[in-house]
């Protein structure tokens, strides 16, 4: 079984016109992705943000729920938020995951297919084998920048439902993706 981690990227992502932008952190994203990661047994939730003030904000949220008054009020939430790792770049997340051995494979997600994509069934089978860690990358804004999609070892197929509308929140997309890859 391969070790799966997730990354939520705030730069480089694209804006409405496809231009490179940096998005602000959404507190709900941090909580929801951490809870999904804890549910499916992941060890790391990388929150990627280039702006130091934003990283400080996320660290404060993490500490509130892991060691602060939030942990005293709702102890169980600490199990999820302690998975959060705040890093300035995606490369920093890769470096952290590489310390224990092999560099992770980068797997990306998107609401539209960009080039060749892999089915969740095939990706699930790959997760079940032995191999390098997987870093499953989610975007914000209008999606991951082409520079990230281009460096992926694997681009997961878009999650689709009934018809062409499939613009999910990143929170929903993460939960669905983890259930398809790791769920019972
Ligand atoms: N149009 C954007 C795109 O192509 O991903 C949607 C951005 S959405 C607000 C933010 C992130 O949620 C995306 O970068 C992707 O990681 C994930 N996401 C949203 N809808 C998805 C879908 N249908 N399938 C897979 N991932 C999705």
- Position 73 scores a pLDDT of 95
Per-residue pLDDT band for 101 (boundaries 50, 70, 90) equals confident
Ligand 1 centroid, distance to 166 Cα (angstroms) = 8
In whole angstroms, give the CA distance from residue 48 to residue 98.
16
Q: What residue spans of 40-111 are helical by DSSP H?
A: 52-66, 69-73, 75-81, 90-98
In whole angstroms, give the CA distance from residue 53 to residue 180.
35
Mean pLDDT value across the chain: 97
Section 1-29 average pLDDT: 97
| Of 7, 12, 137, 139, best ligand 1 pocket probe by most atoms within 8 Å of the beta carbon | 139
Q: Above pLDDT 70, what percent of the chain?
A: 100
pTM of the model as a whole? 0.96
pLDDT tens per residue, range 37-65: 999 999 999 999 999 999 999 999 999 99
Per-residue pLDDT band for 2 (boundaries 50, 70, 90) equals very high
Per-residue pLDDT band for 100 (boundaries 50, 70, 90) equals confident
Ligand 1 centroid, distance to 158 Cα (angstroms) = 8
Per-residue pLDDT band for 141 (boundaries 50, 70, 90) equals very high
User: Which residues form the pocket of ligand 1, taking CB atoms under 6 Å from any ligand atom?
Assistant: 109-112, 138-140, 142-144, 158-159, 166-168, 170, 173
In whole angstroms, give the CA distance from residue 62 to residue 65.
5
pLDDT tens per residue, range 143-168: 999 999 999 999 999 999 999 999 99
């Amino acid at each position: 079984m391969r070790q799966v981690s997730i990354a939520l990227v705030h730069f480089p992502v694209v804006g409405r016109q496809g231009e490179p932008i940096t998005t602000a952190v959404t507190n709900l994203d941090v909580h929801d992705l951490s809870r999904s990661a804890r549910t499916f047994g992941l060890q790391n939730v990388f929150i990627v943000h280039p702006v130091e003030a934003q990283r400080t904000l996320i660290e404060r949220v993490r500490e509130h729920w892991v060691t602060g008054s939030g942990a005293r009020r709702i102890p169980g939430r600490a199990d999820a938020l302690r998975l959060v790792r705040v890093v300035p770049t995606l490369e920093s997340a890769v470096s952290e995951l590489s310390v224990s051995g092999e560099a992770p494979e980068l797997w990306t997600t998107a609401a539209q297919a960009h080039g060749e994509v892999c089915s969740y069934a095939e990706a699930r089978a790959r997760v079940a084998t032995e191999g390098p860690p997987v870093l499953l990358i989610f975007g914000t804004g209008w999606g991951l920048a082409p520079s990230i999609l281009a460096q992926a070892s694997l681009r997961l197929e878009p999650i689709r439902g009934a018809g062409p509308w499939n613009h999910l929140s990143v929170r929903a997309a993460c939960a669905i993706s983890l259930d398809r890859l790791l769920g019972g």
